[in-house]
């Protein structure tokens, strides 16, 4: 791939709302502390559900980010998007009035979109109320591209504007697309990421029907246990995150702080099964290899992998297989962790929250733990940073995200240097 000869891209801003923090600072402090954000669901009565817990956004108030009218006209997933965007744009320190807004774009996705809106409006239709009780805002509240549109409208950003939708790889695809747009010279800055709000009756019920969720109802905070022998499924989470990506010379010209460099990406497809990853993580192997080649990095350059690590049997086994195949003997020297052990699976937002954790690891040289790791699984035999954060110099890292449908995305980050 030719990206090493293209324009360099750096991360200059970040924003996040997660089950363990409603800002990047709070999220990162709690991640290093190994805090679980998983608890019993409060949004609805779970008496009839096999799973009664999830990673809700505790204390989130949309009115801290938007007026009451707007809050009523956007689904929760878009509220989370706007909240993360506000933090990220403030964090990057850009004076938008001094910028050519045609050179700033938004690629922001959601795996599902307005799930709660669809559920509510379906109720209006079918519970004897009829089609005239459907809200005129139903369609624009539901569609998964509207968060990108709302961010663009709020800040007047007139560059490329669209959504990615690829299940749990959604946000990573948004970030990778944004990388390419900057590299090709289409734009100078991109607002990118993803959000999800699927903790509702249809969301939990649907994933229960799929037998994908943990049912460890007696200890919710211990239910998400990636790579651990007694894992029994993933835990639903919600939230959103955003990276501000910027062309290096543009960032330097305005005196921006630089967190890290986004050096490369790899996108592949399993072509195997709608929910189960390809045996041995074959597609994940190619995704990681592609990201390394794109970034001009050797396998021995990688110090850390932010794993997809869902706490499901096949994902964790095959992702481990893939890492061992790609990195060989060096795999044992890499710190591997799963952010999902603390926040659950944020579906379409998983990739960007993982990317934020990856960038913060590079910035701080601290690797957050994979919590709830009690009994090692012989089939998962890497260093998963069990239960306690570690200090480790991290110069280069990758972040994995894999989605239903066989979608694989890997992002490669490294410490920023002028050379």
Residues tagged active-site: 168, 308, 345
- The C-alpha atoms of residue 362 and residue 358 are separated, in whole angstroms, by 6
CA 391 to chain centroid? 23
Strand partners for 109:
194
Between β-strands 104-109 and 189-196, what pairing exists: parallel, antiparallel or unpaired? parallel
C-alpha gyration radius of the chain? 20
Quick one: how far is CA 218 from the chain centroid? 27
Instruction: Note the residue count of the chain.
Output: 419
Q: Are 167 and 347 in contact (CB under 8 A)?
A: yes
Minimal CA–CA distance to 334: which of 395, 280, 382?
Answer: 382
Burial of 330: CB neighbours in 10 Å, binned 0-12, 13-18, 19+: middle
Give the separation between CA 4 and CA 184, rounded to whole angstroms: 11
How far apart are the C-alpha atoms of 43 and 47, rounded to whole Å?
Answer: 12
CA 377 to chain centroid, in Å, comes to 26
């Amino acid at each position: 791939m030719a990206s090493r000869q293209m324009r360099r891209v750096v991360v200059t801003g970040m924003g996040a709302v997660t089950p363990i923090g409603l800002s990047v600072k709070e999220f990162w402090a709690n991640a290093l502390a190994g805090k679980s954000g998983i608890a019993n669901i409060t949004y609805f009565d779970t008496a009839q559900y096999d799973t009664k817990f999830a990673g809700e956004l505790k204390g989130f108030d949309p009115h801290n980010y938007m007026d009451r009218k707007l809050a009523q006209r956007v689904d929760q997933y878009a509220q989370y998007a706007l909240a993360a965007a506000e933090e990220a744009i403030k964090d990057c320190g850009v004076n938008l009035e001094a910028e050519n807004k045609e050179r700033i774009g938004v690629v922001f996705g959601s795996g599902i979109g307005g799930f709660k809106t669809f559920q509510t409006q379906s109720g209006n239709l079918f519970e004897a109320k009829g089609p005239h009780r459907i809200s005129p805002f139903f369609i624009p509240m539901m569609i998964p591209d509207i968060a990108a549109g709302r961010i663009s409208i709020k800040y007047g950003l007139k560059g490329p504007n669209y959504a990615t939708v690829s299940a749990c790889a959604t946000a990573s695809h948004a970030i990778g697309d944004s990388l390419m747009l900057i590299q090709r010279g289409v734009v100078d800055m991109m607002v990118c990421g993803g959000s999800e709000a699927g903790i509702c009756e249809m969301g939990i019920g649907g994933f229960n029907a799929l037998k994908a969720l943990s049912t460890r109802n007696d200890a919710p905070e211990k239910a998400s246990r990636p790579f651990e022998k007694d894992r029994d499924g993933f835990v639903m989470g919600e939230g959103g995150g955003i990276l501000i990506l910027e062309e290096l010379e543009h960032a330097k010209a305005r005196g921006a702080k630089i967190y890290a460099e986004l050096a490369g990406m790899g996108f592949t497809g399993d072509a195997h099964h709608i929910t189960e990853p390809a045996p041995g993580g074959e597609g994940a192997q190619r995704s990681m290899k592609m990201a390394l080649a794109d970034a001009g990095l050797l396998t021995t350059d990688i110090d850390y992998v932010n794993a997809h690590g869902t706490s499901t049997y096949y994902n964790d086994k095959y992702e481990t297989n893939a890492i061992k195949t790609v990195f060989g003997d060096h795999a044992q020297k890499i710190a591997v962790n799963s952010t999902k052990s603390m926040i659950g699976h944020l579906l379409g937002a998983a990739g960007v929250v993982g990317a934020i954790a990856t960038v913060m690891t590079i910035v701080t040289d601290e690797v957050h733990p994979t919590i709830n790791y009690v009994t090692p699984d012989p089939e998962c035999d890497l260093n998963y940073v069990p239960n306690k954060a570690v200090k480790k110099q991290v110069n280069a890292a990758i972040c994995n995200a894999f989605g239903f449908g066989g979608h694989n995305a890997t992002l490669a980050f490294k410490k920023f240097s002028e050379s």
